[in-house]
Amino acid sequence: MGVFARVREDIAMAQRHDPAAHSKAEVVLGYSGVHAVWAYRITHRLWLGGYRLPARLLSQFARFLTGVEIHPGASIGRRLFIDHGMGVVIGETAVVGDDVMLYHGVTLGGKSRHGVVAGARRHPLLHDGVTVGAGAKILGPITLGEWCTVGANAVVTKDAPARSILLGIPARVQPGTAEDIKAARCLLSSTPEPA
């Protein structure tokens, strides 16, 4: 798939998921999450080409501009949409499938201070269609199955099967029906009530 086709996909994804996106021009000029994904694609190519220092420096410049930190070594599929963007962190060995949506403040982080050894993964794997609510933290080399929904501010440290709903600290995995998943997605940007 060509560069311009990917750009059109990203713009269409933003318009589909954000009712505040009134035009393509608005997305192209004003969406930091989209800009961060575009910068990632450049840095990832540099990273894979062995230009690791330039990739890291460019990714840090993109972080400065967008508020989103995506390590150039991460593996990200098509049509990732980062809504609002600010504070999102995606670690070096994270793997993100197609059609994933992340809200602001999401961390796909590691739990180990040890470096990557012989292809070992320290960060999460999110399969296609996963939605992660504002402020959620997904930590360690865990796997979230297709179409999982992670609620706002959840802290996920264990694997979850496809179509699960993950809520709370630590997150509890609940099997989700289509109705449950739709209801949970309505709550994604809300914050939990104090205990």
Which has the closest alpha carbon to 184: 160, 161, 168? Answer: 168
Q: What is the pLDDT of residue 3?
A: 84
Q: Which residues pair with 99 in a beta bridge?
A: none
Does residue 192 belong to any structural domain of this protein?
Answer: no
Counting the structural domains of the chain, the total is 1
Residues 6+ apart with CB under 8 A from 158: 142, 170, 171, 173
Contact, 139 vs 157, CB < 8 A?
yes
In a domain, 193, yes or no: no
Domain that holds residue 133: 3-186
Quote the pLDDT of residue 194: 34
Specify if 79 maps to a domain: yes
Of 154, 159, 158, the C-alpha closest to 184 is 154
Residue 118 domain-assigned? yes
Q: Is position 158 within any domain?
A: yes
pTM for this structure? 0.85
Position 98 in a domain: yes
**Does a cis peptide bond (omega within 30 degrees of 0) precede residue 72?**
no
Q: Angle at Cα 153 formed by Cα 28 and Cα 78, nearest 5°?
A: 35
Phi, psi for residue 76 in degrees, rounded to 5:
-125, 130
Q: Is residue 12 part of a domain?
A: yes
CATH code, 59: 2.160.10.10
Kindly state whether residue 194 falls inside one of the protein's structural domains.
Answer: no
Mean pLDDT of each 10-residue bin along the chain, 195 residues long: 86 87 90 94 96 97 96 96 93 95 95 67 95 96 95 96 94 76 52 36
The whole-number pLDDT of residue 117 equals 64
Question: What pLDDT score was predicted for residue 149?
Answer: 95
